[in-house]
Amino acid sequence: MEPKTTDEHIFKMRYRRFIPAVIAWTIATNTFTGYIIQQNTNTKIIEINRAAAKQEIEYNNARASRLAARAKKEAKDEMRYEILQTRYQDLKEVCREK
């Protein structure tokens, strides 16, 4: 009878335990990998949303500036029109008097 060494029984597993262990290991790694992929996807979506929000803010600021500039120009034009109207009325009255 040969003496048994300690390394003979370090990894001794039968098929009825080995196959479920492999299946459990596969499920665990796939679950973990799926979780990591989902987190990365969510992070990318959040970054895209932040970029879109930043672009929208910049657009809204530019739009507000354009609207303010247009309103300012319209107000100046309206003031010039009123001044011209009053001058015209004054000249019309002067011409009638002569």
Average pLDDT over residues 14-33: 86
* Residue 9 belongs to some domain of the structure: no
pLDDT of 85 > 90? The answer is yes
* Residue 57 belongs to some domain of the structure: yes
d(CA 77, CA 40): 55
| Structural domains counted in the chain | 1
Query: Is the CB of residue 21 less than 8 Å from the CB of residue 13?
Result: yes
d(CA 78, CA 86): 12
* Residue 50 belongs to some domain of the structure: yes
* Residue 19 belongs to some domain of the structure: yes
Which positions ≥6 away from 13 have C-beta within 8 Å? 21
Query: Domain range spanning residue 20?
Result: 14-97
Which pTM was predicted?
A: 0.49
* Residue 24 belongs to some domain of the structure: yes
